[in-house]
Structure 1
């Protein structure tokens, strides 16, 4: 077995059980077995990294509870390693202004995401300079026409889209962390369940799909584990010999 040094984890549908009430919050929807698995991985010298479409501020609080110090946030547009920001990829202000105008003309509602907050843009507001991505809750075919040479719309949940630079993804965030750790892709694992995990799966040596995941993603996985609620993360780690079941 390769000498794994890092494991990347999506949140919704992977770490957190989407079948549980949202009122529980992210941390409250993470099975105890998954929390224990992250701790055991650290004991084995495997760095756990949260890799999510969510912004860093939304990740930071529960990551601290999990004692996870590294994160790929906002689909790779903001990356930290062991508490230090190592990369940020803000949309150019001119591009943000053009996209805002397109969304407003198409009467499609949107939000703007920075590393620390979600902004609701009002007509006449100055265009923010630190936008990482746009957030929309609509089918892709309802979006205004996008410049696909610059941006991409990714489905991160059944009715949620994130729009960010086309060349940035969880995969580019993985590359930045691998480079910082001075390790190869073969020393990396990834756990995911949804469409925006495809790129992540292509950048690690061993991708693992959750049992509740996207069927196309499962087809690309090296291993398909049980569902989140049925201790899928713990079971995969034990089955793959990352740590024992004690």
Structure 2
């Protein structure tokens, strides 16, 4: 078995069970078995990293509860490793302005993400200088045309899209963490469930798709485990020999 040094975990549909009520919050929807995995891997010298399309502010508190202090957030546009910010990539302001205009003309609701907050933009407001990505609650078919050479729209939940720099993703965040750790892709694992995990799976030595995940992602994965609610993360780690069956 490869000498794994890092494991990347998507949140929604991977760590957190989307079948449970949203009122429980992210931490409340994470099975106890998955929480144990994060702790046990860390004891074995495998760095757990949360890799998500979500904003860092939304992740930081529950990541701390999980004992995880390395995070790829906003689809690789903001990356921290062991509590230190190692990458922050803002969209060019003129591109943000143009995209806002397109969304407003098409009457598509959107939010702006910065490293510290999620903003509802109103006409006439100053455009922030530090926009990481857009968040839209709609389908791809409802989006207005945009410059696909510069930005990309990715589905991160059944009715949610992230729009960000086409060159950035969870995969680019993985590359930055691998470089910081001075390790190879073969020493990395990744767990995911949705289409914004495609690129992530291509950047690690071994990829695990959740049983409740996207069918195409399952076909691309090195291994398909059980669903989140059926302790899929724990079962995968046991089957791979990373943890003892208890």
Q: Same fold (TM over 0.5)?
A: yes
Give the TM bin, normalised by the shorter chain: over 0.9
Which residue in 1 is equivalent to 2:215? 215
Which residue in 1 is equivalent to 2:159? 159
Post-superposition shift, 1:128? 0.5
Post-superposition shift, 1:88? 0.7
TM alignment of 1:17-32, pairs within 5 A: 17-32=17-32
Which residue in 2 is equivalent to 1:87? 87
| Structure 1 stretches of at least 4 aligned residues deviating more than 2 Å after TM superposition | none
TM-score (norm 2): 0.99
- Cα distance per residue 1:17-54 (max 9 Å; x no partner): 00000000000000000000110000111000000000
SS of 2:198's partner is helix
Report if aligned partners of 1:193, 1:213 keep a CA contact under 8 Å in 2.
Answer: yes
SS of 2:161's partner is strand
Task: Tell me how far apart the structure 1 counterparts of residues 172 and 122 of structure 2 sit (CA, whole Å).
Answer: 32
Which residue in 2 is equivalent to 1:243? 243
Gaps of 5+ in 2: none
- Cα distance per residue 1:173-216 (max 9 Å; x no partner): 00000000000000000000001000000000000000000010
Tell me, yes or no, if structure 1 residue 48 matches structure 2 residue 48.
yes
Which residue in 2 is equivalent to 1:116? 116
Which residue in 2 is equivalent to 1:8? 8
Tell me, yes or no, if structure 1 residue 205 matches structure 2 residue 205.
yes
SS of 1:45's partner is coil
Which residue in 2 is equivalent to 1:75? 75
RMSD: 0.6
Paired residues, number? 246
- Cα distance per residue 1:94-138 (max 9 Å; x no partner): 111111111101111111011111100011000011110001111
Task: Tell me how far apart the structure 2 counterparts of residues 28 and 179 of structure 1 sit (CA, whole Å).
Answer: 33
TM-score (norm 1): 0.99
- Cα distance per residue 1:55-77 (max 9 Å; x no partner): 10100000000000100000000
Tell me, yes or no, if structure 1 residue 96 matches structure 2 residue 92.
no
Which residue in 1 is equivalent to 2:179? 179
Task: Tell me how far apart the structure 2 counterparts of residues 61 and 33 of structure 1 sit (CA, whole Å).
Answer: 20
SS of 1:189's partner is strand
